[in-house]
Structure 1
């Protein structure tokens, strides 16, 4: 009589060491999203961008490169290089934040508008969420499960401005910011919910993606309903009048 063998089903697991290859797709999104308003200008000779645009483009590109190379280095067992680039991120991320702040300030141009406070949520969202996720990644840098998820989360934030621009400027018949943003948000939420579902049986680090989703929901609520309040409006006015660009 043959003894029956029961195969134990292991929880489905995301292979974080392969995430670098997926983030190469983010470079494609960057090219598609910024082609009409940035890259194509160099093709037709109409590029006249301020240094703030270039500074932001370089810093954002460097961060995407980090997201691509770091998991690949882990996969290739190049741990020393991985740690060196990790230390370099302490410099690159603050510079990226500075580039976001300077570019937004330049675009405001010192103009105090009625919805100035509400208009700041879009960039604030990116800086705050990336900052929180990066802080989690550094705090748990010795816990691969949490560290990897948090770093991936910083990359997910980049999907919105790139995919959103592609949808608004290329896919829609007429540019419509809120419609394009709504479509982009729906795609992003589907991605995050899928990650949460895949990881529902994991014991370590599965709280990172739900935290990311909650942060997005909070900021998107503020953006779509153009919510502001006196203290935030006062900050927005103070920011717009700063002599930094």
Structure 2
């Protein structure tokens, strides 16, 4: 009886036109590519210093000191990506019991991811407020704070839609977009010799295009507006915020945000 029930769950799941083999396969490929990108982007500034992580001089950023916050942040980011990779694999194998168990892990992991993002941003804001002034702080807020907010929103939407697998899987998958820009921008700086602002501009443009393509394809395939449209909206808003980062208008907003931090 138990085996029949599990088989029925597998059959029901795979029969859904909204959670297809192609969707889970695409998610697996996307997360694998993102993990590779993370290793490429952070190789020079982090991974290559394993295991001693001794202080060093970065030509662009000065003295780099590896703190516990940096290590904690790296572990949480990679932990989240690995969870996103495991989930569609379990779905494809029909192991929904283990899939749900891994999903419950996110109840602990997601707050830790948010905490690590907050701590890294707080540390950067404190350092830049002391050494580089108000403009640098406003830029840091524009770069990091929207991603923290977007991740929290997408994760909460995923949790609130657990009873709708098509929505739930897409919102969980969408959280991966938050992780693309940092390693992508670092890759451009390291291998294309772009400036910091130039690399960030290019990475944000590429992410917007990618979100747009996925939104169109998923909307066309499911014959309804894709949840990825929300991700596209977030990425466009993120691009706009970065675009106005040096305006008095944004500086006033950034100052208010810093007071909360």
Q: What TM-score bracket applies, with the shorter chain setting the length?
A: 0.7 to 0.9
Task: Say whether 1:95 aligns with 2:112.
Answer: yes
Q: Alignment partner of 2:171: what SS?
A: helix
Compute the displacement of 1:23 (Å).
0.8
Contact 1:20 1:72 in 2 (8 A): yes
RMSD of equivalent CA atoms: 2.4
Return 40-49 or 224-233, whichever deviates more: 40-49
Among residues 60, 78, 83, which one is paired with 2:77 in the alignment?
A: 60
Partner of 1:222: 241
1:117 aligns with one of 124, 138, 149: 138
For structure 2, the 5+ residue unaligned runs are 1-16, 56-64
User: What's 1:235 paired with?
Assistant: 257
C-alpha distance in 1 between matches for 2:236 and 2:71: 30
Is the 1:178–1:224 Cα contact (8 Å) retained in structure 2? no
Which residue of structure 2 aligns with residue 243 of structure 1? none
Matching residue of 2:231: 212
Corresponding residue for residue 24 of structure 1: 32
Q: How does 1:44-83 map to 2 (within 5 A)?
A: 46=54, 48-83=65-100
1:95 shift after superposition:
0.5
Contact 1:16 1:148 in 2 (8 A): no
Give 1:55 shift: 0.3
Which of the two has greater helix per residue? Answer: 2
Match of 1:189 in 2: 208
Classify the secondary structure of the residue corresponding to 2:43. helix
| Post-superposition offset of 1:164 | 1.3
Q: What is the rounded CA distance, in whole Å, between the counterparts of 1:35 and 1:198 in structure 2? A: 33
Give the equivalent residue in structure 1 for 2:41. Answer: 33
1:165 and 2:186 correspond: yes
Distance change (3 Å), C-alpha of 1:45 and 1:131: closer
| Contact 2:118–2:148 (8 Å) recurs in 1 | no
Higher relative contact order (CA 8 A, sep 6+): 1
Task: Report if aligned partners of 1:149, 1:205 keep a CA contact under 8 Å in 2.
Answer: no
* 1:206-235 deviation digits (Å, cap 9, x = unpaired): 331111111111122111221415354133
Partner of 2:219: 200
CA distance in 1 between partners of 2:223 and 2:159 (Å): 16
- TM-score, normalization by structure 1: 0.83
Cα deviation per residue 1:31-57 (whole Å; 9 max; x = unaligned)? 100011111223796355100000000
Compute the TM-score of the two structures, normalised by the length of structure 2. Answer: 0.79
Structure 1 residue ranges (4+ consecutive) displaced by more than 4 angstroms after TM superposition: 202-205
- Whether contact under 8 Å (2:37, 2:184) holds in the other structure is yes
Q: How many residues align structurally? A: 227
**Kindly tell me: are residues 178 and 85 of structure 1, through their superposed partners in 2, closer, same or farther at Cα, counting changes over 3 Å?**
same
Cα distance in 2 for residues equivalent to 1:236 and 1:142: 37
**Paired position in structure 1 for 2:13:** none
Q: Which runs of 5+ in 1 are unaligned?
A: 1-9, 240-245
